[in-house]
Amino acid sequence: MVSIITAGFTIAVGSIAPALGEGRALAQALLAIAQQPDESPTITRTLFVGLAMIESTAIYCFVVALIIMFANPFWDFVAGG
């Protein structure tokens, strides 16, 4: 039963940092566009590549949460025990 708590905890805690990091990067990107409108395509492209990289840590947590809930190897052990 503890895996429910763990899954919720994992996805909840694991989404704090990416959201903060992305918010910071996004805020700075808008400031950068306002300072150098001519570099807008370069900034936007770098921003989205970087956001995807940060998002990947959130996805790691999401994957682990799903593994814990649906496909953890202890399931068969518990079911059979």
35 exposure class (CB count in 10 Å sphere: 0-12, 13-18, 19+): exposed
75: Cβ contacts below 8 Å, ≥ 6 apart: none
Task: State the nearest-atom distance from the C-beta of 81 to a copy of itself, in Å.
Answer: 11
The residue ranges that bind a copy of itself (CB under 8 A) are 1-40, 42-44, 46-51, 53-58, 60-62, 64-65, 67-70, 72-74, 77, 79
Task: State the nearest-atom distance from the C-beta of 49 to a copy of itself, in Å.
Answer: 8
Phi, psi at 5, each rounded to 5°:
-60, -45
Task: State the nearest-atom distance from the C-beta of 79 to a copy of itself, in Å.
Answer: 8
